[in-house]
Each structure stands twice: as structure tokens, then as C-alpha cells.
Amino acid sequence: MKIIDFQHKWKNNRLPDVVEPHITLKAQGGLTSDEEWLQKVKEVCYNFHPFEITLDKPKFFGNEILYLSASSSELYKLHNSIV
């Protein structure tokens, strides 16, 4: 809710209408349109134990995407399991 409140501080910002706050673990590159990979990702996530993450300082991806960095050893393990 804090992130959404922060997003709403700028008028003309449609981001809260387009996507919810999330953590990207795998870029879209290499995913196939048939979505056969989706069930495997769901299984990995279902079998992965809950864990805590730490939100860190803001960073930029390119020139236009501002995000909060996140860290957790389990986050990296989840990423590796998905990939």
C-alpha cells in the first residue's frame, strides 16, 4: 500500500492502473507464446517456502524505469529455480 500511495503522488501517472507492485524474477525474453512453461513456474512457486525480502535503495533500469531494489538469498534461489 505504501508503494501504491507513493505512485499516486504524481498526477498523470497511470502505472497503478496498469500493473501492481511486483518483483520481476525473470525477464520476458525466451518465454514462448504457447505458455507451456507457465505450469512449471507455478509448480516451482507452489513448492517454494515463503521467505522475507529487504527493499533497498531506488535504482534505474535504463533511463525511464525507476524501481526499488530488493535482496534476499531466497529470492536468488527462487530465480535460479524458475530459470
State pLDDT tens for residues 4-30: 787 778 777 777 777 777 778 777 777
Can you tell me the mean pLDDT for 37-61?
92
In the chain, % of residues over pLDDT 90: 25
Instruction: Count CB neighbours of 5 within 10 A.
Output: 9
CA distance 59 to 17: 22
Q: Which domain holds residue 32?
A: 2-82
* Count of structural domains, the chain: 1
